[in-house]
Structure 1
Amino acid sequence: MTLIESYWKVFLWNKDGKKFKKIFYSVNKKKKNFNPYQNNSGTIISIANQNYCVVVSDTRYLNGFSIPTRFQTRIFKISEKIILASAGMFADAFFFQKKTKTSIKDYEYGIKKAISVESCAFYISSLLYSKRFFPYYVFNVLSGLDENDKGSVYSFDSVGSFEKLKFNCIGESCAAIQPLLDSYFEHQLKLKFNLRTKSIQDLINSIKEFFLKASKRKIDIGDGLQFFIINKKGIINENYLLRIE
């Protein structure tokens, strides 16, 4: 027993007149909590339109304050018309995306046709919910074309709850970008503007501006942008530089 510990033992004994209960040890004991999770950042925007979907992700991979790689993809192709994007812990995201694609391939082999984006959303929800007691530390957004070739976006939390949206932002910089998205689409509605009349390139330029504004305020977003456009012809990929600092 050290000198400080013996002092506090005598002090507490004399003050209370009761048996010493190792208060000093209970207050100063450092608990070693097991934490298997880590946040590797990632910000994803997904927008659904009448005849296409746009999915955008940054490429910066963070581990604390270090940047192991600046060109990490977080978007995974499920089928010719469906894309799954995941933000959060990359190890969980990589395993979850691989498991989802393998299971969907087995499902499509059994029914002899391609899975619909709605059925894929329900399957992903059940897969996440099955791990609710030790969940995947990932936040997913599923984008694709439905049976009528209309854009669909489904946003998931880590335990499987999901909803269908017109546009959505998930990931580390969601708090910075989601208000910009809300303001942008609210402005278009006030002008009675139909998004179908707007070219995809104008929409891409607006999204790049949103990411650029967020990258000036947060260190977890930057380096590059990956654009995936889903339409009737398939999936188109475009890459852009964002900020390398």
Structure 2
Amino acid sequence: MSRFNPYNDNGGTVVAVAQGSRVVIGGDTRISNGYNILSRNYNKVTQLTSTTFIATSGQVTDAQTLHKLLLAKVALYKHQHGNEPSLRALSKLLCVTLYSRRFFPYYTFNLLCGVDDDGQGKVFGYDAIGSFDELKYGAQGSGQQLSMSILDNQMKGTNRTDSYSFNSDPVGLVKDVFNAVAERDIYTGDHVLIWDVSPQGINQSTFRLRSD
């Protein structure tokens, strides 16, 4: 008799790229269970404050629970203090929230992204129990390895022989990453939702990916 496993990875990919005062966050809309597609229109990214977003891959039920919990804590903070928590404060809150469940973790892999108090775009990457690091770019999910190879090449110039520095539009880079991943990862596809966050505001756009 097989033992009950409470965890199920529903696939999909999330990516974030910080450049100057901007951060671009993308997440595909497909969730799966094995070879079955459960939804083609699931949003993996949640806005926590006016300049902070969380993008999550892993188990959908745990991701929804985590996002609702963080939204409740942000609402309580705003009620008590009269303003929104900073990106740095939320990075510590997410760390503590995940670590508090370390004996029965949320099966989620997160990118916390936004604009900090100095007006700079930031990305924080987390494992399932709250260990995190500040990044220039990051990816989580079933397409993480494919995404990171492209991001390393384009953002850091890894495996290039020419002198190189990235100065292109990060929105275009995120689109290219998802197009490439969707060609090779059956758990990533349908659409990609992209948020371009800066001190000037937020632009949200949707792009089609392959649906087979």
Q: TM-score range by the shorter chain?
A: over 0.9
Q: Is the partner of 2:175 in helix, strand or coil?
A: helix
- Equivalence for 2:34: 64
Query: After superposition, what is the alpha-carbon deviation per residue over 1:201-222, rounded to whole angstroms, capped at 9, x for unaligned?
Result: xx32232222222222221111
Aligned to 2:138, which of 144, 152, 168?
168
Aligned to 1:230, which of 197, 201, 209?
197
Aligned to 2:81, which of 87, 111, 115?
111
Q: Is the partner of 1:56 in helix, strand or coil?
A: strand
Deviation at 1:238, TM superposition (A): 0.2
Are positions 1:207 and 2:177 aligned together? no
Are positions 1:193 and 2:165 aligned together? yes
Q: Is the partner of 1:115 in helix, strand or coil?
A: coil
Deviation at 1:182, TM superposition (A): 0.3
Higher relative contact order (CA 8 A, sep 6+): 2
- Equivalence for 2:206: 239
Query: After superposition, what is the alpha-carbon deviation per residue over 1:17-57, rounded to whole angstroms, capped at 9, x for unaligned?
Result: xxxxxxxxxxxxxx331211111112011011211100011
- Pick the structure with greater CA Rg: 1
Q: Is the partner of 1:216 in helix, strand or coil?
A: helix
Matching of residues 69-84 of structure 1 within 5 Å: 69-84=39-54
Q: Which amino acid aligns with 2:199?
A: K
Query: After superposition, what is the alpha-carbon deviation per residue over 1:137-167, rounded to whole angstroms, capped at 9, x for unaligned?
Result: 0001100111111001111110010010000
Distance across 2 between alignment mates of 1:205 and 1:150: 20
Distance across 1 between alignment mates of 2:71 and 2:180: 34
Are positions 1:153 and 2:120 aligned together? no
Are the counterparts in 1 of residues 28 and 190 from structure 2 also a CA contact under 8 Å?
A: yes
Q: Is the partner of 2:119 in helix, strand or coil?
A: coil
Q: Is the partner of 2:25 in helix, strand or coil?
A: strand
Moved more, 178-187 or 137-146: 178-187
Gaps of 5+ in 2: none
Runs of 4+ in 1 over 3 A off after TM superposition: 188-195
Distance across 2 between alignment mates of 1:63 and 1:55: 24
Q: CA RMSD in A?
A: 1.6
Are the counterparts in 1 of residues 23 and 198 from structure 2 also a CA contact under 8 Å?
A: yes
Q: Which amino acid aligns with 2:183?
A: K
- Equivalence for 1:38: 8
Q: Which amino acid aligns with 2:76?
A: D
Deviation at 1:234, TM superposition (A): 2.5
TM-score, normalised relative to structure 1:
0.82
Are the counterparts in 1 of residues 171 and 196 from structure 2 also a CA contact under 8 Å?
A: no
Q: Which amino acid aligns with 1:68?
A: L
Q: How many residues align?
A: 210
* Percentage identity across paired residues of the two chains: 28
TM-score, normalised relative to structure 2:
0.94
Deviation at 1:241, TM superposition (A): 0.2
